Chain A
Amino acid sequence: MRALDPRLWTPLAAACVAAPVHATQYLSVEQAQRALFPAADAFAAVPLQGARAWSASRAGAALGYFLVDEVVGKHELITYAVGIGADGAIRGVEILDYREPRGGEVRDPRWRAQFVGKRRGSPLRLDEDIQNISGATLSCRHVTEGVRRLLELYARSLRDR
């Protein structure tokens, strides 16, 4: 292929040591709660099968739910949070952390097993409003699917509490 034709390129300094890409923490659970529900003055943990959940309230009035979940991509593990308002609409999605396992972890069947059976209902697809502009990366697709799953979980277990 022409773009990679070696006659077109000349090596720069060869001292380029590869280093592993580290895990990145963006927000803690508490920080994400504040980012998605800035008006809330209380978050109460809610027992829920399939995700960690908190109800958000202000002066005793319900503002919605805050859910935390994890997805496995091809090269990464992503913890993310979704805020769902009292009207059932998503208030926002925040990535909490993103880490890239080196081999083993993702292939470990016990690790994978925690995700088995979490996805139900109709086949998941990328939402039109989150569709890719540029080449798709798996990571976003997995988060998009995860958000859809949390919405189903919310509709089934939390909405009518």
Chain B
Amino acid sequence: MKNRARPLLGTIVAIRADATHAAIDAAFKAIERVHFLMNAHSSAGDIAAINRTACRRPVPVHAWTFRVLAAALRISRASAGAFDPTLGRGATHEDIVLLPGRRVRLRRRARLDLGGIAKGFAVDRAVEALRRHGARAGCVNAGGDLRLFGRAPQVVRVRLPSEPSASVVLATARERAFATSAAYFGGMHIDARRGRRLRLQSSITVSAPSCMVADALTKAVAAAGPMPDLLARFRAQAYLVDGQGAIHAPRR
């Protein structure tokens, strides 16, 4: 197993895998690519282009960006807007129109921000790159959004919101992704429906088959609570870790 980490996506991205250094380099490269395409602040990326011009004319985007936008819309609709990739007054996910030919149009001026989903997608692409280069097992962890791959089950821990230097065992899993929303890194969430900032006292973790889905759903659950139908639809599970380290599951 090799263990490497780089500062990417605004966090520390760690990769542990039974892979060559070249494979890990390829995984980091995939993450850099996602960052370049979908970071609203990189002026040459797709999201910046959409925010600049898509309210006037359709903007062609990279296949990866189109995929993430399609997933973001699916999760926005399924969560009744608890997850929403648009920022700003009045704009919602309903203002995003995906057109044939991987083009994107906005019905009105809006600011897209894929911050709540692109990090998970980047983790998924890194795992894909590792596998393509022959890695059979490992974990890609982008500052708390992680994905396990390989046949052997691995233990997943979650930091205590009240004491970030301590953690509790959340689950043992294989071929699964986990994303955590918590307050201990100064994390704030914006409730998309009310435009209000929420400060989390506990942390919320969602597990799902892909890190992209886990990443987006953890934002929805943090904003609106555990929605059993939504979680079931995406084969996801939600956990709440309170300040004492006790783990809770959604009440049925």
Contact = CB atoms under 8 A, between A and B. Distances in A.
Partners in one complex: yes
B167 A135 contact: no
Contacts of B247: 11-13, 16
A11 B250 CA distance: 9
Interface residues on B, range: 35 or more
The 9 closest A-B pairs by CB, nearest first: A132-B10, A95-B5, A9-B248, A131-B41, A18-B166, A16-B168, A143-B7, A10-B251, A135-B187
B225 A5 contact: yes
Given A3-B204, A10-B249, A140-B10, A94 B164 contact: no
A157 interface: no
B10 A131 contact: yes
Interface in B1-44: 3-12, 14, 21, 25, 35-36, 38-39, 41-43
Chain B interface helix/strand/loop/mixed: mixed
A78 B38 CA distance: 27
A143 B12 contact: yes
A35 B21 contact: yes
A57 interface: no
Interface of B: 3-12, 14, 21, 25, 35-36, 38-39, 41-43, 114-116, 118-119, 122, 143, 145, 157, 159-160, 163-169, 184-188, 198, 200-202, 204, 215, 221-226, 239-240, 245-252
Interface of A: 1-5, 7-14, 16-21, 24-27, 34-35, 38, 75, 78, 80, 92-95, 98, 100-102, 126, 128-140, 143-144, 147
B4, B10, B39, B167 — most chain A CB neighbours (10 Å): B10
Contacts of B5: 24, 26, 94-95, 98
A138 to B, nearest CB: 7
Contacts of B114: 133
